[in-house]
């Protein structure tokens, strides 16, 4: 087992209405099956964090990152696989048809654009991550307000 934590990049994709994109992980996923999640994933060997961010957005949605608005969170977590991770999350804008993401087959099953009033949807399967995803998205909305968007 690795002694260093795995590095992860997360993207809170923001649309022109200030909504944040989430996608549901497929029921077959090993970590966090069938729960809402943000776009993101592990860095590949030798990859820089922003390069991983851009790659993950394109792989998971088909969109291209046009602007990194802010880096707003970094935290450590351990998956139910026992591996430690350090995740850095960013608010981003993307280019592409925001009504038609190209979800990765077998990885994600649906998507939603959330407003702050919609955060309760993230409480589904809350026991899986003890509400961490909701806190990330709440922090994303707070960061959006703080930078005037």
The CATH number given to whatever domain includes residue 34 is 3.90.79.10
Q: What is the pLDDT of residue 126?
A: 62
Share of the chain above pLDDT 70, in %: 95
Long-range contacts of 134-140 (CB under 8 A, 24+ apart): 136/10, 136/12, 136/38, 136/73, 136/89, 137/12, 137/20, 137/22, 137/38, 139/72, 139/73, 139/89, 140/12, 140/14, 140/20, 140/72, 140/89, 140/91
Coil, strand or helix: which one is 14?
A: strand
The count of domains in the chain is 1
Q: Can you tell me the mean pLDDT for 35-55? A: 95
Coil, strand or helix: which one is 137?
A: helix
Q: Can you tell me the mean pLDDT for 44-59? A: 96
Residue 69 structural domain: 6-146
- Of 131 and 50, more confident: 50
In a domain, 1, yes or no: no
In a domain, 21, yes or no: yes
Predicted confidence (pLDDT) at residue 149 exceeds the cutoff of 90: no
In a domain, 74, yes or no: yes
Predicted confidence (pLDDT) at residue 60 exceeds the cutoff of 70: yes
In a domain, 77, yes or no: yes
In a domain, 129, yes or no: yes
In a domain, 16, yes or no: yes
Predicted confidence (pLDDT) at residue 34 exceeds the cutoff of 80: yes
pTM, two decimals, is: 0.91
In a domain, 88, yes or no: yes
Residue 126, φ and ψ in degrees, nearest 5: -55, -30
Predicted confidence (pLDDT) at residue 79 exceeds the cutoff of 80: no
């Amino acid at each position: 087992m690795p002694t260093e934590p795995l590095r992860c990049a997360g993207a809170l994709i923001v649309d022109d209405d200030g909504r944040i994109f989430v996608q549901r992980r497929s029921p077959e996923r090993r970590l966090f099956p069938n729960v809402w999640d943000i776009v993101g994933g592990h860095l590949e060997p030798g990859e820089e964090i922003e390069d991983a961010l851009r790659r993950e957005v394109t792989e998971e949605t088909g969109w291209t990152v046009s602007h990194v608005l802010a880096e707003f969170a970094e935290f450590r977590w351990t998956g139910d696989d026992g591996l430690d991770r350090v995740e850095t999350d960013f608010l981003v804008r993307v280019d592409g048809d925001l009504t038609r993401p190209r979800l990765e087959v077998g990885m994600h099953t649906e998507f939603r654009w959330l407003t702050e009033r919609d955060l309760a949807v993230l409480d589904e399967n809350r026991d899986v991550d003890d509400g961490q995803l909701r806190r990330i998205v709440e922090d994303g909305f707070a960061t959006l307000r703080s930078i005037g968007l």
